[in-house]
């Protein structure tokens, strides 16, 4: 049974000071995420409790207690400090999901430096753009990725140190390279924690957005307040849980809820560093008796595509709470998970810039499949007229999502880009750039990115609505819907579809799909064309990049593709 109370109880008289009190934090005092996620947990008597269970290729497993995490963070922090790295320096973490990524993240924060996690799958140019913008002082990486760093190092005079965590001492080190081995290092028992305050910068996350150069989203140590409480209430984490967040820390979910949230609560978490495979995922859940699972709709749809027979091979009875993030969760996925796991996925809505969960299907709240749920307690949310940015009072009328600024995890700026940051605020609201409607019960329903919405003959069509209808057809594995040019209506709906195994593309299937979705959509929302594809373009965090498909249809510039899966 959940420990968090009902949504109505939690909203009443809510104040963020509740989280401060639970964390033992007094305003104006030192606030350091690295300390709160390790030292504080040890001081609470949990030093021997398992903090991290890590599994790599070939079933290699490593386990770390909270005391191990504390000492490893100290050791990495002390090593960086000896190199002359300190408060405010940007330290890039460019590694696979190995333990050093998680432990190094805390080590960087403990010395007051700013953690800059980047996907290890980035190519050298994508890496350069982000390092150049941040003017990073150091890069912590692995042998397998150091080649990309070497290619661009001569263009980066600000990078003083390239730290290789698995250097075996056999191959020659190149300029500015330093080997480091956590296994061989002498553990540092006590480290002087840098006295960061609430507004001291903590994490720099890069988001590609739909246009222009990637933007560095600056977060501060005070974000802990939101991340702790949302992990407790939305993910429903409890002391005896074994938790799995599938996100890579190159993505904000992987830091906010793959490091900070669970560890600030002293919860055991698991990391699987082997890529996506349905059988290995289910085996991982069974083996470690995972109870709370936070994943992404793309992964969930891939599990649906793999079928239900696989699930029968595994005992997944340990699962008690499932949540989803990254893009809207189609109603079909919620219905499917209830059927196969006996539990619904609880969709959550937020973004890199918000730092923590904003709209949520709160545990115990009635789930309306396909809805993003309601605002987290302490969050004021609405939909706004796109022209005037005034609040829309009519139920069901589409508008831009707006949040009242002031929650603890809100970004404090875009790195070296104040003008773009200011544009995110209109008429006293923060504008994340998504459209939605609100129903009579106060539930939010996603329509699409502001720049994804299709205007066909003056009628606004939600790509998500069409995609959801398509996904309900038995043959459709994934779908992406964009506008294509049209002489009469300016633009019409086009659908890209990947098929489940056993289905062949062709006119017959297209007719069946069209007849199936005709019952669910208005005539204007019906696709005028269906194109079958092998795969859809996705970011590394699993979001379908509709804008690439849109650009192709309209003969436009593709823009930044550095976050593409196979870039």
Across the range 131-138, mean pLDDT stands at 97
Rounded distance, CA 94 to CA 110, Å?
18
Confidence tier at 210 by pLDDT (50, 70, 90): very low
User: Does the pLDDT at position 65 exceed 90?
Assistant: yes
Give the whole-angstrom CA distance, residue 494 versus residue 496: 7
pLDDT at 559: 65
Secondary structure in 3-state letters for 384-442: ECCCCCCECCCCCCCEEEEECCCCCCCCCEECCCHHHHHHCEECCEECCCEEEEECCCC
Look up residue 553 and give its two tokens: 């249809």
Q: Is residue 516 scored above 50 in pLDDT?
A: yes
Q: Can you give the pLDDT at residue 208? A: 64
How far is it, in rounded angstroms, from Cα 178 to Cα 162?
A: 6
Q: Give residue 487's pLDDT.
A: 75
Query: Can you spell out the DSSP letters for 439-473?
Result: -TTS-EEEEEETTT-EEETTEEE-HHHHHHHHHTS
Element (H, E) at 525: none
Return the minimum-mean-pLDDT range out of 115-129, 221-235, 263-277, 346-360: 115-129
**pLDDT tens digits, 444-472:** 999 877 777 787 866 667 788 889 889 99
3-state class (DSSP) for residue 110: helix
Largest CA distance in the chain: 72
Cβ atoms 453, 460 nearer than 8 A: yes
Lowest mean pLDDT among 42-51, 116-125, 151-160, 291-300: 116-125
Tell me if 251 sits within 8 A of 540, measured CB to CB: yes
Q: Is 50 exceeded by the pLDDT of residue 319? A: yes
**In terms of DSSP bridges, do strands 381-384 and 399-403 run parallel, antiparallel, or are they unpaired?**
antiparallel
**pLDDT confidence of residue 222:** 98
Beta bridge partners of 496: 480, 531
329, 297 contact by CB (below 8 A): yes
Distance CA 93, CA 316 (A): 33
Please report the pLDDT score of residue 170 as a whole number: 78
pLDDT digits (tens, 9 = 90+) for 252-273: 999 999 999 999 999 999 999 9
29: exposed, middle or buried (Cβ count in 10 Å: 0-12, 13-18, 19+) = exposed
Give 211's pLDDT tier (boundaries 50, 70, 90): very low
Lowest mean pLDDT among 37-46, 250-259, 556-565: 556-565
Q: Which residue's structure tokens are 């699962």? A: 319
Residue 561: what pLDDT?
67
Q: Is the pLDDT of residue 540 over 80?
A: no
Residue 92's beta-bridge partner residues? Answer: 116, 139
pLDDT of 417 higher than 90:
yes
The answer to whether the CB of 297 falls within 8 A of the CB of 326 is: yes
Look up residue 186 and give its two tokens.
């002498």
Please answer whether residues 468 and 332 qualify as being in contact, where contact means their C-beta atoms are separated by less than 8 angstroms. yes
Mean pLDDT, the chain, integer: 93
Asked if 529 and 484 count as a contact pair (C-beta separation under 8 A), the reply is yes
Q: Give me the DSSP letters along 277-313.
A: -HHHHHHHHHHHT--EEEE-HHHHHHHHHH-SHHHHT
Start-to-end C-alpha separation, the chain: 44
| CA 483/CA 550 separation, integer angstroms | 6
Q: Alpha-carbon distance 409 to 340, whole Å? A: 35
* Residue 206 · residue 192 · CB < 8 Å: no
The pTM score is 0.86
Q: What is the mean pLDDT of residues 283-295?
A: 98
Q: For residue 567, what pLDDT band results from cuts at 50, 70 and 90?
A: very low
Give pLDDT, residue 342. Answer: 97
């Amino acid at each position: 049974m959940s420990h968090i109370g009902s949504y109505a109880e939690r909203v009443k008289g809510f104040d963020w000071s509740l989280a401060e009190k639970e964390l033992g934090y007094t305003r104006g005092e030192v606030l350091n995420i690295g300390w709160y996620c390790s030292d504080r947990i040890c001081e609470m008597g949990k030093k021997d409790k398992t903090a991290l269970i890590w599994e790599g290729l070939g079933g290699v497993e490593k386990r770390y207690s909270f005391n191990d995490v504390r000492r490893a963070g100290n050791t990495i922090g002390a090593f960086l400090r000896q190199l002359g790295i300190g408060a405010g320096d940007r330290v890039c973490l460019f590694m696979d999901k190995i333990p050093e990524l998680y432990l190094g993240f805390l080590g960087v924060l403990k010395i007051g430096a700013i953690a800059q996690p980047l996907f290890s799958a980035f190519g050298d140019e994508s890496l350069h753009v982000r390092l150049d913008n941040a003017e990073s002082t150091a890069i912590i990486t692995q042998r397998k990725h150091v080649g990309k760093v070497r290619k661009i190092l001569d263009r980066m005079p600000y990078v003083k140190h390239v730290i290789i965590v698995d250097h075996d001492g056999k191959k020659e080190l190149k300029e500015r390279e330093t080997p480091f081995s956590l296994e061989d290092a002498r553990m540092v028992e006590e480290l002087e924690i840098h006295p960061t305050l609430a507004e001291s910068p903590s994490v720099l996350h890069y988001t590609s957005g739909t246009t222009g150069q990637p933007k560095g989203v600056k977060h501060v140590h005070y974000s802990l307040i939101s991340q702790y409480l949302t992990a407790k209430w939305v993910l429903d984490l409890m002391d005896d849980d074994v938790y799995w967040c599938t996100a890579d820390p190159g993505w904000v979910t992987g830091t906010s809820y793959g490091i900070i949230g669970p560890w600030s609560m002293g919860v055991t978490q698991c990391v699987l560093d082997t890529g996506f495979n349905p059988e290995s995922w289910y085996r991982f859940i069974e083996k470690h008796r995972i109870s709370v699972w936070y994943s992404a709709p793309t992964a969930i749809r891939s599990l649906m595509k793999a079928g239900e027979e696989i699930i029968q091979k595994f005992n997944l009875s340990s699962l008690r709470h499932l949540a989803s993030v990254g893009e809207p969760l189609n109603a079909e996925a919620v219905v499917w998970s209830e059927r196969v796991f006996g539990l619904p996925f609880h969709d959550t809505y937020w973004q890199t810039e918000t730092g923590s969960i904003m709209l949520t299907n709160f545990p115990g709240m009635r789930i309306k499949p396909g809805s993003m749920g309601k605002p987290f307690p302490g969050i004021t949310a609405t939909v706004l007229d796109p022209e005037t940015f005034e609040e829309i009072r009519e139920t069901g009328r589409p508008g831009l999502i707006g949040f009242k600024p002031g929650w603890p995890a809100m970004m404090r700026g875009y790195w070296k880009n104040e003008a773009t940051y200011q544009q995110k605020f209109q008429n006293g609201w923060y504008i994340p750039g998504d459209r939605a409607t609100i129903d009579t019960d106060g539930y939010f329903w996603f329509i699409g990115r502001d720049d994804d919405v299709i205007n066909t003959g003056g009628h606004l069509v939600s790509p998500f609505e069409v995609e959801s209808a398509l996904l309900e057809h038995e043959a459709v594995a994934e779908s992406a819907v964009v506008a294509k040019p049209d002489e009469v209506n300016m633009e019409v709906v086009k659908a890209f579809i990947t098929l489940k195994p056993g289905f062949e593309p062709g006119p017959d299937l297209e007719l069946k799909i069209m007849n199936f979705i005709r019952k669910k959509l208005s005539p204007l929302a019906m696709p005028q064309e269906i194109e079958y594809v092998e795969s859809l373009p996705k970011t590394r965090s699993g979001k379908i990049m509709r804008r690439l498909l849109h650009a192709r249809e309209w003969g436009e510039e593709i823009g930044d593709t550095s976050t593409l899966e196979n870039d």
